[in-house]
Structures are given as structure tokens and as C-alpha cells.
């Protein structure tokens, strides 16, 4: 046992209210030493201490003999191992579990013994190898394919797993492979184009136009309205507008922003102008403002609504919705017995449709884009 360890153990015995020997003797006198858990732990601790003292004594004797023979010319580590050391080497692979410490120790003795039992710190000569961090210029393979406008990131994963993507001429089947700027990526043997510029378009969707990227029935989509101006750019609509509704819809190729805008956690308020036939009663308005239950059983949040009569005898409702229930306005008016003549979305969060004509579109201004990103928690 090293000198520091032996001194720590002696300090423990000196500072304890009851040392291990006294505890063991007391339990033996009562005839319960063999069964009591603390007595067993004390006995194990005593045996370990005795073995440590014997080994320390043998090492000191060998060191003194070596110093006398070599007269300081040789180091202790150069001498042959003693029988006790050889026995220690043979038992080095067996890890001993220290017994639980008695609760009656004083604070000073407990801290010293805990310091003795604490494992040694790792030597600075053999530091733990640090994990190599990816370079900021490297990007995941599926993200590179998606940003090039080839397909979505999920579809890119399917292409990679199918073995249709190659990096520097070799087939790559791991979607998480990181790509350097000078790597050559090809899909189905065709070189991949560079990353597309992020676009953010505001479109005034007309009625009888589908707000999806494609329609199996062959109807006109919102993307067909901007296809000529931005050929080869993979845009997609953010959210939905009913086939018979018109108004503001956002088109972009920024998947991160689109995900935030469509996530319920960042749901932005949307404002609509709804022209209904005849006069709307105060009871119907109060039902909207207090929150309705639809005929299908869905609970709706309160809707901010104001009403204004028109010269034709109809009522123009201005409604602000804060949840994304499918066809919410039309189902509300149906349950209240109101007939919708026109439904137009005029605002999404900080974006205002303004005087943008039906079927027209424009790029978002920098201030509009910055406000939109702040609204969904992006910088």
C-alpha cells in the first residue's frame, strides 16, 4: 500500500467514533456478526486493510534491501519483483468491490477515506482522442440533392437507398454521407446541379385553382401560374386554400421555413374576408367569438370576427383564425345557416395581400421575409 493510502486509512480509524474492530467485536459478543449486513461489510473492510498493510510492509522491505545493495545506483523498479508483488500482479485482473462505509464516521475521516477510494485521474500523457467534428462546408447527401431541386429530402433518401445516387463515380447508399463542395454527385447517371437560390413568392390564388404541387385530375395548380417565370426551380405551396377560395398563398423552396409555418406550434393567425348572403345575426357572431363545436364534433377556438353590411344587402365578415382546421370557415357558416358568396384570404401573420391582383405574384421584400422568419422563431 502506498504511504499516502496507508496514512489515509490510519486517519479514518483515528477519526471514527467506532472503528471497524470495535464494531466487529461488539457484534460478535451479541452473536449476530455473521448475519448483520454492517458486520459483514466491516469484516470485509478489515480483511482488505490487513492485506494492504502486509503488502505495503513487504514492498518497504524489498525497497530497503534494493537500496542497500545498489547504493542508489539502481531504481526500485529495476529490481526483480517480490513474491507479494507477483501475487498482486496475478490478482490484478480481479476487481474488488469496497464495502459500504459505516454511517457513524466523522466528516474528516469520511472525506479522507473517500479520497483514498476515489479512482486515479487519467494521465495527461494519454489523453482521450477527441472526435473529429464535420467541417462547416460539408453537408449531408440527402440535403444536397434536395437543395439542388431534384426532389424532396425524403424522396432523396429513397433514391440513395435504391442505389441510384453516386458520389465521385461510386454508388452511395448512406443518406447521412457528408459531401464536400468539390465532390461530384450524380442521380441516375446525370450530374447534379448546384444548390438553388432560395425564393419566397406571394401569390394571389384565383378560384378553381388547386393549391398543391400536382393534381391527379389534371386541374390547374398554383405552381403552373409561376412555372414560366421560374423554370427548373422546385417550388411548393405552404399550406392550403380551398378550390373555391382565393387569396394569399406563399410559394417557396425553403423547406425549413415552410415546416415552421405549417407546424401547429408556430401557427400564425390568418385573416379572411368572407362575403355572405343576407344579414348575419348577433347570435351567430357570438357563437363564432365564443368558440363553436362543429357538427362533426371538432372543438374550435374563438374567432375574431367583425361584420359590415353592404349596399347589396349582404354582409362582409372579417375573420381571424388561429388554428388549422380543414375548411373551417365553410363548415362554421354551414352550421350557422350562412351562405358564402366569396371567401378570400388577405393576410398570413405579418404578410398582407394588399393590392396584388388575382393570379399575380411577387417576391417578398426583405422586411417582409425578416418579419415572417421572426414570427416563426427563425433568424
Confirm whether 242 is a catalytic residue: yes
63 with 3: CB under 8 angstroms?
no
3-state secondary structure of 146: helix
Three cell numbers, residue 269: 393567425
Q: Which three cell numbers stand for residue 298?
A: 371538432
Catalytic entry in 5, 183, 215, 242: 242
- Give the Cα separation of 63 and 77 in Å (integer): 9
Q: What does the alpha-carbon distance between residue 46 and residue 62 come to, in Å, rounded to a whole number?
A: 25
Instruction: Answer whether 372's CB lies under 8 Å from 349's CB.
Output: yes
Cα 11 from Cα 5, distance rounded (Å): 10
Comparing CA positions, the residue from 273, 145, 159, 149 lying closest to residue 223 is 149
Other CB atoms within 10 Å distance of the CB of residue 32: 11
Catalytic positions are 242
Amino acid at each position: 500500500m502506498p504511504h499516502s493510502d496507508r496514512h489515509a486509512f490510519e486517519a479514518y480509524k483515528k477519526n471514527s467514533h467506532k472503528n471497524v474492530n470495535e464494531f466487529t467485536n461488539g457484534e460478535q459478543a451479541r452473536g449476530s456478526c455473521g448475519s448483520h449486513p454492517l458486520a459483514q461489510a466491516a469484516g470485509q473492510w478489515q480483511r482488505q486493510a490487513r492485506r494492504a498493510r502486509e503488502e505495503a510492509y513487504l514492498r518497504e522491505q524489498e525497497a530497503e534491501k534494493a537500496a542497500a545493495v545498489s547504493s542508489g545506483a539502481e531504481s526500485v523498479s529495476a529490481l526483480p519483483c517480490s513474491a507479494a508483488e507477483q501475487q498482486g500482479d496475478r490478482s490484478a485482473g480481479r476487481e474488488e468491490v469496497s464495502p459500504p462505509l459505516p454511517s457513524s464516521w466523522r466528516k474528516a475521516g469520511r472525506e479522507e477515506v473517500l479520497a483514498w477510494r476515489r479512482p486515479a485521474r487519467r494521465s495527461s500523457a494519454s489523453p482521450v482522442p477527441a472526435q473529429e467534428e464535420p467541417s462547416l462546408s460539408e453537408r449531408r447527401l440527402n440535403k444536397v440533392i434536395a437543395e439542388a431541386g431534384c426532389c424532396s429530402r425524403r424522396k432523396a433518401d429513397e433514391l440513395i437507398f435504391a442505389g441510384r445516387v453516386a458520389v465521385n463515380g461510386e454508388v452511395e447508399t448512406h443518406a447521412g454521407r457528408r459531401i464536400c463542395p468539390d465532390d461530384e454527385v450524380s442521380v441516375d447517371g446525370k450530374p447534379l446541379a448546384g444548390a438553388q437560390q432560395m425564393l419566397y413568392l406571394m401569390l394571389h390564388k384565383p378560384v378553381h385553382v388547386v393549391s398543391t404541387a400536382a393534381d391527379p385530375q389534371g386541374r390547374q395548380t398554383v405552381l403552373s401560374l409561376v412555372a414560366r417565370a421560374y423554370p427548373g426551380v422546385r417550388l411548393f405551396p405552404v399550406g392550403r386554400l380551398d378550390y373555391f377560395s382565393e387569396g394569399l398563398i406563399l410559394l417557396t423552396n425553403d423547406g425549413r421555413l415552410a415546416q415552421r409555418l405549417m407546424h401547429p406550434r408556430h401557427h400564425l393567425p390568418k385573416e379572411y374576408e368572407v362575403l355572405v348572403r343576407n344579414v348575419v345575426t348577433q347570435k351567430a357572431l357570438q357563437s363564432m367569438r365564443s368558440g363553436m363545436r362543429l357538427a362533426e364534433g371538432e372543438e374550435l377556438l374563438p374567432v375574431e370576427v367583425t361584420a359590415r353590411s353592404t349596399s347589396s344587402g349582404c354582409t362582409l365578415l372579417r375573420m381571424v383564425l388561429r388554428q388549422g382546421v380543414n375548411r373551417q370557415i365553410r363548415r362554421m357558416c354551414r352550421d350557422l345557416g350562412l351562405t358564402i358568396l366569396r371567401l378570400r384570404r388577405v393576410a398570413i401573420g405579418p404578410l398582407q395581400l394588399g393590392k396584388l391582383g388575382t393570379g399575380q405574384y411577387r417576391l417578398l421584400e426583405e422586411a417582409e421575409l425578416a418579419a415572417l422568419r421572426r414570427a416563426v422563431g427563425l433568424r
